Amino acid sequence: MDALPTGHFIGGALQASRSRDALDAMNPATGAVIGKVADASAEDVGEAVSAAARAAPAWAETPARRRGQILLAIAARMRQRGEELARLDSLDSGRTIAETRAQVERSAQQCEYCAGAADKLEGRVVPLGGASFAHTALEPYGVVAALTPWNAPLLQIAQKASHALAAGNAVVVKPSPLACFTALRFAEIAVDVGLAPGVLNVVTGGGTAGSALVADERVAKVTFTGSTATGRSIAATCGARGASVSLELGGKCPLLVFDDADLTAAATLAGRAAFGSAGQSCVAAARILVERRCLSALLPLLAREAERWRGGDPFAPGTAMGPLISRAAWLRVRDLVHDAVARGASLAAGTLPGDEPRGAGFFMDALALREVAPDARIMREEAFGPVTVIEVFDSEDEAVAMANAGPYGLAAGICTDNAARARRLTRKLTAGNVWVNTYKALDPAMPFGGNNASGINRECGIDGLLSFVRPKAIVEAY
Ligand code: NAD
């Protein structure tokens, strides 16, 4: 593998950080330090925003079709360099190579979707009547700041940057320091294929760099994906200074299993939904709500399924899931599980974590708990690990009430063979995304995002793209 990129990508090239501070980049599968991540100072961040502000007017004037062509070229180059990008993401984030290969493809598709939509962001003529001519124009914001988490590093920058660029904005991305190398590579690729210097910049670092970026008055829109707590503080800053904000936040997503479902298929789906990516997914099925009539039939199937989900080498073929991102994450998930057990929860499937990770990496095997006390922390807090909680319901109404309980509203799944029931429930569930007999069915063409504590606004699809432009209403009278 080539040397890891270091520094910030500003004005079209990697440059050394003005800040001397650096953070360790760690391979979560081995615990080994693999490199350094520059921790941007406010000065570094300011320089990146200046580069974006300089480049923004010309990019906004670039014909939309040309903007789309550049996104197509980025997609093609990502596919060409797909194996390298996938390996870098697996090394940095611990996701299995099968997952990161799929994410390279999805990142390319995301750029292609936005490329195709770029010249379809049209204003409208509004028939006000009389002698006036009323119409709308969709204008870019200017400089967009994108703050991303570590759990899907390449896809996160590809998603946010492709929306912002297609709509004619310049961008400054601040990826998570826990996995940021493919974000730097993405920016290099964009400039290699013809994006003008300064249109896309990447500064690396932690929360201090992130808050400097969000506070910069020249940033007109912030798009953030990460935890609910951080999202709320970012929204407060944006609100105070009048910047637009989109938030893709946490969740505690339910998967509802009804007696009329194909239970073998439901158990397989539940395993993928709860334990895929070691549960480090905002839409992970952290709660499995089971109709009492099928509980005894489903539990052994779930137990068998959980055995398949063991943490292992992300690069080994056939590994179901990689490690947790850090020792701190491992200890936090362990504490949530141990707290639930101390309050009376029992193990329904899988393996309880011990007191320490079983090797140098941060591996945890999958598990499902049941009879969890309502006051257990895991009932309220996002675990972000390979653990799910089984709850039981007796009626459809009770299932809906349980699914909608709590502050989140990101995604929900339903396993049923009853189409009328599925239709009823898709309307009643408080969630931005609902999947019936499938899960994590994400696509660049489908809007994605959450309600309530899970977020504001959407990304992907036309709805997502529209949140990267603002309409101007024009009335002309002669
Ligand atoms: P995080 O909130 O800790 O960090 C997200 C980003 O914000 C990082 O780049 C981080 O450096 C930066 N940041 C941290 N503090 C900041 C501050 N005060 N001001 C500005 N920026 C700041 O989240 P994380 O641990 O990286 O990611 C996991 C979380 O992300 C989970 O809660 C998960 O549910 C959520 N997530 C949501 C989605 C979604 O689309 N809804 C997708 C993936 C992850």
CATH number, domain at 470? 3.40.605.10
Confirm or reject: Cβ of 387 under 6 Å from ligand 1.
Answer: no
Compute the distance from residue 69 Cα to the ligand 1 centre, in Å.
31
Confirm or reject: Cβ of 336 under 6 Å from ligand 1.
Answer: no
Same domain? For 403 and 460 the reply is no
Is it the case that residue 1 has pLDDT exceeding 70?
Answer: no
Report the pLDDT averaged over residues 20-38. 96
448 belongs to a structural domain = no
Same domain? For 26 and 117 the reply is yes
259 belongs to a structural domain = yes
Ligand 1 pocket mutation pick from 151, 181, 381 by most atoms within 8 angstroms of CB: 151
CATH number, domain at 371? 3.40.309.10
User: Number of folded domains in the chain?
Assistant: 2
Nearest alpha-carbon partner for 454 in 283, 234, 279 = 283
Q: What average pLDDT does the structure give for the chain?
A: 97
Report the pLDDT averaged over residues 335-353. 98
Atom of ligand 1 nearest to the CA of 450: 41
3 belongs to a structural domain = no
Percentage of the chain modeled with pLDDT above 90: 98
For 96-113, the pLDDT digits (tens) are: 999 999 999 999 999 999
Same domain? For 221 and 83 the reply is yes
For 308-339, the pLDDT digits (tens) are: 999 999 999 999 999 999 999 999 999 999 99
Same domain? For 60 and 127 the reply is yes
Atom of ligand 1 nearest to the CA of 454: 41
Same domain? For 404 and 326 the reply is yes
Tell me which of 47, 112, 160, 415 is the catalytic residue. 160
Q: Is 282 a catalytic residue?
A: yes
Confirm or reject: Cβ of 207 under 6 Å from ligand 1.
Answer: yes
The pLDDT of residue 130 is 86
Nearest residue (by CA) to ligand 1, atom 28, is: 226
240 belongs to a structural domain = yes
Confirm or reject: Cβ of 147 under 6 Å from ligand 1.
Answer: yes
Total residues found in the chain within this entry: 478
2 belongs to a structural domain = no
Compute the distance from residue 50 Cα to the ligand 1 centre, in Å.
24
1 belongs to a structural domain = no
Q: Is 248 a catalytic residue?
A: yes
Same domain? For 114 and 98 the reply is yes
The pLDDT of residue 131 is 86
225 belongs to a structural domain = yes
Is it the case that residue 264 has pLDDT exceeding 90?
Answer: yes
Confirm or reject: Cβ of 248 under 6 Å from ligand 1.
Answer: yes
Is it the case that residue 33 has pLDDT exceeding 80?
Answer: yes
Is it the case that residue 144 has pLDDT exceeding 70?
Answer: yes
Same domain? For 299 and 218 the reply is no
Is it the case that residue 2 has pLDDT exceeding 80?
Answer: no
Domain that includes residue 43, residue range: 8-249+453-476
Compute the distance from residue 243 Cα to the ligand 1 centre, in Å.
19
Same domain? For 277 and 229 the reply is no
For 374-423, the pLDDT digits (tens) are: 999 999 999 999 999 999 999 999 999 999 999 999 999 999 999 999 99
Nearest residue (by CA) to ligand 1, atom 32, is: 227
Same domain? For 201 and 298 the reply is no
Same domain? For 418 and 287 the reply is yes
Atom of ligand 1 nearest to the CA of 150: 26
Same domain? For 210 and 337 the reply is no
Percentage of the chain modeled with pLDDT above 70: 100
Same domain? For 259 and 129 the reply is no
The pLDDT of residue 3 is 85
439 belongs to a structural domain = yes
